[in-house]
Amino acid sequence: LLKEQGYEVIGMFMKNWHDDSVTISDECPWLEDSNDAMIVAQKLGIPFQAIDLSAEYKKRIVDYMFDEYQKGRTPNPDVLCNREIKFDIFLKAAMRLNADYIATGHYCRRDEIDDNGETLYQLKAGKDNNKDQSYFLCQLTQEQLSKALFPIGELTKPEVREIAKVQDLITADKKDSQGLCFIGKVRLPEFLQQQLKPKKGDVIEVPADSDIYNEDTEDVEVITDSLDTITAPFVYQKSSGKKVGEHNGAHYFTIGQRKGLNIGGTPEPLFIIDTDTKNNIIYTGQGENHPGLYRKGLFIEEGDIHWVRPDIKLTVGETRDYMVRIRYRQPLEKAQLIKEANGLYIIFDQPQKAIAAGQFAVWYSEDELVGSGVIA
């Protein structure tokens, strides 16, 4: 597509991972991907080179993942991979080759608007709603967007495959890549066990009608509908739960998770409603309507707020309505953003399921992604 538009194109492949011991065989192995990329480049008659970024990837992405899981948080390495690797280290490498832009296969769009003679860049959802990947680019800056091209953003996946078939490209029918950015599908516990060792702990089931107030609270009346209360995780009398099993490490699990507990015998499936990595305890509740799974809001600390469009960022005391999602592919939800001195509060019209610390909340104005932040 870029060649048709008159660009001079160079193909570049990033190798970001060397350890095949934790990847699931035949799922996105880097060697096969590299060969496919080289064959496509030959077919298109464009130069091709590979670049090894595995040291930077380990430092900026893998070490971050281990650190976040150890703290009982749920990181999103794909978002970080785009911010730290693709649109930073890789972008700088491309610029050293005197490139004007880098182009990626993300299903999203970039537009420009004129603001009193200054060009502002918009990050918009891809036309294919089923494949929109703007969420993964939610941490990009104006500078990064100014150097980015997304040539398939106006197309659907079937249309892209059809173009590849017409061009007789080897990747035309290749399965969609899944799993970690540039690593592929991994067995997460085995991946994490490289640094986070297994450690037996209790699985506690908290009844749905449990007192939702923390046992440290002396007077229930002091709890009001303050922003901090509305956005706080589910709290309960932890002494009211019962042990229903054991796990191999609280840091291997995340809020909302159902699989992997291997505990049966309950009328409804057990879902994780809280992980305590300090005391190595997992708290669970029966069924997907357990109150511990739902929250009305979330909080983003001041240093973790990012505006793709800094010209419209909220100032202290300001509120604005946006459509928000808290994970990839989640339907957009109506919410109010409230800016305070200590950070940003997001209050949803409807309670949201499995809000996990460490994930990215992303807000849109119509089809434009305007900001994001790490959930506290």
Active site residues: 81, 181
> What is the H or E stretch that residue 284 is in?
strand 281-286
Using alpha carbons, list the distances in angstroms from residue 227 to 134, 149, 274, 356: 29, 39, 21, 18
Strands 201-205 and 281-286: parallel
What sections of the chain are H helices per DSSP? Answer: 30-44, 54-57, 63-70, 77-80, 91-96, 142-146, 157-166, 188-192, 227-231
The tokens for 64 are 């971050």
Cβ of 6: how many Cβ atoms within 10 Å?
A: 6
Instruction: Measure the CA angle with vertex 87, ends 44 and 187; round to 5°.
Output: 90
Which letter, b or e, does each residue of 14-34 get, where b requires 16 or more Cβ atoms within 10 Å of its Cβ? bbbbeeeebbeeeebbbeebe
Using alpha carbons, list the distances in angstroms from residue 19 to 13, 15, 57, 290: 18, 11, 12, 39
Residue 42 CA, chain-centre distance (Å), reads: 33
> What is the H or E stretch that residue 103 is in?
strand 102-103
CB contact at 8 A, 196 and 251: yes
Which letter, b or e, does each residue of 95-128 get, where b requires 16 or more Cβ atoms within 10 Å of its Cβ? eeeebeebbbebbbbbeeeeeeeeebbbbbbbbb
- Residue 274 pairs in a beta bridge with 283
**Stated length of the chain:** 376
